[in-house]
Amino acid sequence: MTHVKTVLSRVGLYVNRWLRTRCSFHQLNLSWSVRCRILTERAQRKAFLQARNCIEERLRMEDENEKQERLLMSLLPRNVAMEMKEDFLKPPERIFHKIYIQRHDNVR
């Protein structure tokens, strides 16, 4: 009978060690998974914020360009304003040396 108790206690110790090892493995695996998820979410959030800021800045620039174009159209005749606009889209070789003057004979 003592032999059976000894065997059972050894089996119990083996099972106990196996369970502790298994539990610590699962705990380590779970903590690693949580850490990876947190890091992934941070990276995704950062990428989202950068993309949003980029889009906001682009929209702001488009609004500013529209305001500038309306101002230009309100100050100059349409044909002169369109000529200036086309010139600014060309390479800047001598854009600023060009004078936008037109002669009109029938002006009072």
CA-CA-CA-CA torsion for 28, 29, 30, 31, nearest 10 degrees? 50
Cβ-based neighbour number of residue 22 at 10 Å: 10
Dig out the tokens for 75 from the structure. Answer: 């100050």
Q: For position 19, what pLDDT does the model report?
A: 74
- Cα separation, 45 vs 51, whole angstroms: 10
Give pLDDT, residue 94: 59
> Is 0.85 topped by the overall pTM?
no
pLDDT computed for residue 16 by the predictor:
74
**Structural contact between residues 84 and 98, judged by C-beta atoms closer than 8 angstroms:** no
First to last CA, the chain: 129
Per-residue pLDDT of the chain (108 residues; tens, 9 = 90+): 565 566 556 667 777 777 778 778 788 888 888 899 999 999 999 999 999 999 999 999 999 989 988 888 888 888 888 887 787 777 666 555 666 666 667 666
